[in-house]
Amino acid sequence: MADSNSAGGNNNNGGTNNAEVQIQIPGPSKAEDSAAKETPSGAKPFRWWMMVLVDVFFLIAGQTSATLLGRYYYTQGGSSKWIAAFVQTAGFPILFFALFFFPSKSPSSSVNSDTPMAKIAVVYIVLGLVIAADDMMYSSGLKYLPASTYSLICASQLAFNVVFSYVLNSQKVTPLIFNSVVLLTLSAALLGVSRESQGATGVSGGKYLLGFVLTLGASGTYSLMLSLMQLTFENVIKKHNFSAVLNMQIYTSLVATFASLIGLFASGDWKSLKNEMDGFRSGQFSYLMTLVWSAVSWQITSVGVLGLIFEVSALFSNVISTVALPVVPFFAVVVFHDRMNGVKIVAMMIAIWGFVSYLFQHHLDGKKAKKASGDSAQGGS
Share of the chain above pLDDT 90, in %: 16
Say how many CA atoms lie within 13 Å of 72 toward its Cβ: 22
* Burial class of residue 53, CB neighbours in 10 A (0-12, 13-18, 19+): exposed
User: What ranges do the domains of the chain cover?
Assistant: 42-367
- The pLDDT of residue 241 is 67
10-40 per-position pLDDT tens digit = 344 444 343 333 333 333 344 334 333 333 3
Q: Determine the Cα–Cα distance for residues 305 and 117; give it in Å rounded to an integer.
A: 26
Does the pLDDT of residue 98 top 90, yes or no? no
Length reported for the chain: 381
Q: Burial code of 228-265, b = ≥16 C-beta within 10 A, e = fewer?
A: bbbebbeebbebbbbbbbbbbbbbbbbbbbbbbbebbe
Does 361 or 340 have the greater pLDDT score? 361
* Burial class of residue 148, CB neighbours in 10 A (0-12, 13-18, 19+): buried
Does the pLDDT of residue 8 top 70, yes or no? no
Q: Is 5 helix (H, G, I), strand (E, B) or coil?
A: strand
Q: How confident is the model at residue 375 (pLDDT cuts 50, 70, 90)?
A: low
State residue 348 phi and psi, 5-degree precision.
-65, -45
Q: What is the DSSP letter of 44?
A: P
Maximum mean pLDDT: which of 137-146, 204-213, 285-294: 285-294
109-168 per-position pLDDT tens digit = 444 446 788 888 898 999 999 999 999 998 888 888 876 677 777 777 777 777 777 777
313-341 per-position pLDDT tens digit = 656 776 677 666 666 666 777 776 666 66
Per-residue CA distances from 364 to 86, 163, 178, 180, 287 (Å): 40, 20, 15, 15, 47
Kindly compute the dihedral angle of the four CA atoms of residues 216, 152, 90, 202, in this order, to the nearest 10 degrees. 90
Q: What is the DSSP letter of 2?
A: B
Q: What is the DSSP letter of 294?
A: H
213-232 per-position pLDDT tens digit = 998 898 888 888 877 877 78
- 283 contacts: CB under 8 Å, gap ≥ 6: none
